[in-house]
């Protein structure tokens, strides 16, 4: 386990984890009420992994996530109103309703996107790291992906190239035990995922993704090593999603007992209790923090409800940048 940070930092971590949890729970409800369409991949259970890893970054660092993207946008500071409005498919969404659940993006905060293709985000993150390297800045890019993505061709291709070119990218494999509905031991010959980069020149390490302090400690060390040494690293965050792969998942591939076992390690009450035990936050303070998160989600839902659907004219917006060179018939 990592060391406790300053009290106000610790409280902010708990707040962010709680905000993500309350946001995701409400998103699930809104999906059930058909306010949200398509797929909805919730990160309930993975909040410590999200907050511990993103808090290891500077504002100038880049973050790239998978299609389970809401929590990363929220952790990076994107307003919950704009994330919820995107889920509702509204004009006020962070991508104007063009992206949806799997494709959150916030350029201003250097959250460079959620990506819907498993493994497709690894080369993109590495290209961003190439830009940082090219410009000789000390920025680092953190790229998350699931255990399932470690079997994609892009995993081997990208880790090799990032190591070969010494690019400042931290690969965080979120081992939530399942590639959709196929368990780790049924999809990967090597289940010790931190070792999967070794033959590609990328050293690995592991953190307890259910523990925000350990996640932060391990990822922060990796980030600073990468920043310093200009070489990629792989971090395996061992975690568990309490809900299905997506909201539409009947979860027939795992037992209720297994889920209950992992729920005992729920990272939010665990971290809250720790802060209470350390005298950083009393029971009342924990309660207030939770109510605040709920209130913010209420506001996010209200904003999304009030935001109009995108105008029909926006259908063709942002397919191309139109300028003097590229004119003519586009559609």
CB 73 within 8 A of CB 114: yes
Check if the beta carbon of residue 84 is closer than 8 Å to that of residue 304. yes
Q: Shortest Cβ distance from residue 247 to other proteins (Å)?
A: 21
CB of 70 to other proteins, least distance (A): 15
Inter-CA distances, 108 with 16, 76, 94, 112, 115, Å: 19, 10, 11, 9, 18
| Sole window of 5-13, 156-164, 258-266, 289-297 interacting with other proteins (rule: CB under 8 A) | 156-164
Q: How far is the CB of 327 from other proteins (least distance, A)?
A: 5
| Coil vs helix vs strand at 15 | helix
Judged by CB under 8 A, does residue 197 bind other proteins?
A: no
Q: Quick check: 184 and 177 in contact, CB under 8 A?
A: yes
CA distance 284 to 264: 22
Q: How far is the CB of 210 from other proteins (least distance, A)?
A: 30
Interface pick for other proteins out of 24, 61, 81, 106 (rule CB under 8 A): 106
User: What is the Cα–Cα distance from 97 to 128, expressed in whole angstroms?
Assistant: 25
Is 22 exposed, middle or buried (CB count within 10 Å of its CB: 0-12, 13-18, 19+)?
Answer: buried
| Of the residues 96, 181, 201, 203, which one makes contact with other proteins according to CB under 8 A | 96
- What x/- string results for residues 165 through 194 when contact with other proteins is judged by CB under 8 A? x-----------------------------
Which residue in 256, 259, 248 sits closest to 32, CA to CA? 248
Phi, psi of 244 (to 5 degrees): -70, 175
When the beta carbons of 48 and 234 are compared against other proteins, the nearer one is 234
Residue 39 binds to other proteins (criterion: CB under 8 A): no
Q: How many residues belong to the site for other proteins (CB under 8 A)?
A: 53
Nearer to other proteins by Cβ, of 63 and 274: the residue is: 63
User: Distances from the Cα of 287 to the Cαs of 129, 272, 281, 282, 294, in angstroms?
Assistant: 41, 10, 10, 9, 11
Nearer to other proteins, 120 or 285 (CB): 120
> Shortest approach of other proteins to residue 266 CB, angstroms?
32
Of the ranges 41-49, 128-136, 250-258, 293-301, which one interacts with other proteins (CB under 8 A)?
A: 128-136
Nearer to other proteins, 102 or 235 (CB): 102
Contact 110, 63 (CB under 8 A): yes
| Residues β-bridged to residue 102 | none
In the complex, which residues of this chain contact other proteins (CB under 8 A)? 62, 93-99, 103, 105-107, 112-113, 115-117, 120, 122-132, 134-135, 153-154, 157-158, 160-161, 164-165, 317-321, 323-331
């Amino acid at each position: 386990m990592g060391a406790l940070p300053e009290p106000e930092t610790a409280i902010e971590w708990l707040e962010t984890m709680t905000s993500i949890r309350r946001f995701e729970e409400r998103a699930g409800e809104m999906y059930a009420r058909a306010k949200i369409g398509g797929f909805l991949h919730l990160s309930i259970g993975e909040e410590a992994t999200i907050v511990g890893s993103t808090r290891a970054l500077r504002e100038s660092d880049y973050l790239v996530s998978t299609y389970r993207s809401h929590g990363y946008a929220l952790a990076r500071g994107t307003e919950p109103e704009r994330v919820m409005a995107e889920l509702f498919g509204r004009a006020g969404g962070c991508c104007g309703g063009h992206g949806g659940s799997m494709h959150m993006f916030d350029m201003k905060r250097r959250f460079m996107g959620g990506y819907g293709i498993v493994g497709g985000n690894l080369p993109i993150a590495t290209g961003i790291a190439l830009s940082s390297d090219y410009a000789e800045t000390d920025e680092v890019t953190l790229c998350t992906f699931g255990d399932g993505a470690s079997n994609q061709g892009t995993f081997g291709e990208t880790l090799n190239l990032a190591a070969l070119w010494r690019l400042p990218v931290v690969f965080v494999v979120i081992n939530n035990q399942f590639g959709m509905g196929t368990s780790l031991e049924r999809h990967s010959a090597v289940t010790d995922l931190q070792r999967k980069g070794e033959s590609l020149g990328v050293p690995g390490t592991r953190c307890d993704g259910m523990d925000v302090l350990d996640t932060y400690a391990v990822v922060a060390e990796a980030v600073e090593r990468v920043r310093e040494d200009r070489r990629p690293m792989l971090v395996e965050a061992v975690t568990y999603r309490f809900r299905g792969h997506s909201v539409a998942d009947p979860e027939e591939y795992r037992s209720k007992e297994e889920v209950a076992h992992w729920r005992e390690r729920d990272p939010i009450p665990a971290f809250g209790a720790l802060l209470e035990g350390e005298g950083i936050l009393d029971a009342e303070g924990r309660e207030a923090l939770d109510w605040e998160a709920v209130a913010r989600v209420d506001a996010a839902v209200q904003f999304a409800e009030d935001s109009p659907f995108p105008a029909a004219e926006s259908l063709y917006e942002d397919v191309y940048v139109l300028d003097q060179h590229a004119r003519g018939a586009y559609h």
